[in-house]
Amino acid sequence: MIIDAHSHVHDPVEDHIALLDDAGVDRAVLFGTRPHPERATGLESLRREMALLGEAIGGRANGVGGYRTAWQELDEALDAHPDRFVGFRSVPLDLTPHRIAEMVDRDVVGRGLRGIGELTPPPGRADLVEPVMRAAADHGKLPVVVHGFAPTTAEDLRTLARLAAAYPSVPLVISQLGGLNWMDAIELVRDTPSMFLELSTANVIFAVRLAIREIPDRTLFGSDAPYGDPALARATVERVTSPGEVRDQVLGGTAARLLGLI
């Protein structure tokens, strides 16, 4: 089974299915999203969508109100294609720990979703993920995915590693290979057994090669579609691996175990 471990809702969702089919991807982890760069028809409309992205990844989109449309779109995509998408749901990080626990219980576990994410704490505030980790621990091995590219900082990655060590039953996934801090991310994930590293948005090919070499059992193929392309992301992994067990694990075996699909 080939599993794209990182993607966002597309408009229309059928375009996403076509990308997965073209890449030979069986299933994709699907996150909700406020920005939709795939809707842009030119530079100005793309700027508007990317401004929304800046708000989201900068942690300025907290509060339940800012999530409702994204949650609705996610639910619709999951209902339309339950055989292709594995649903994750984010939670606002500015809520009290009690409210976060309630939302995880009701809106993640209660809806049959497979994990929490993609979380986007403000830069320098990865500590806000702690109540989510606590709530995930209450439900066993419920994976948590945190945005890894800018504006996430190297210190944020270290904070996340400390949280992972404090909640070792919770698989904590750093997305986008940790962005420009990819060497720090590889080292931290390698040394923290409950952490995983998703490989999309790599700036250099040898970052993917090194990550797989250092942590072959905890690296995950992902595209970050629509920002990335599943076919290109898969080709990147295949370019730096040989046919066999390691490639199979990175392209889907590890994700399948993490998601409880096998």
Q: Give phi and psi for 40, each to the nearest 5.
A: -65, 140
Query: From CA 247, how far away is CA 81, in angstroms rounded?
Result: 26
Contacts by residues 35-42 (CB-CB < 8 Å, ≥ 24 positions apart): 36/9, 36/10, 36/11, 36/226, 37/226, 37/227, 38/10, 38/11, 38/226, 39/11
Residues of the chain with pLDDT under 70: 60-66
Assigned token pair, 103: 């939302």
Q: Do residues 57 and 31 touch, judged by C-beta distance below 8 A?
A: no
32: DSSP letter: -
pLDDT in tens, 132-161: 999 999 998 899 999 999 999 999 999 999
Residue pLDDT, tens place only, 161-206:
999 999 999 999 999 999 999 999 999 999 999 999 999 999 899 9
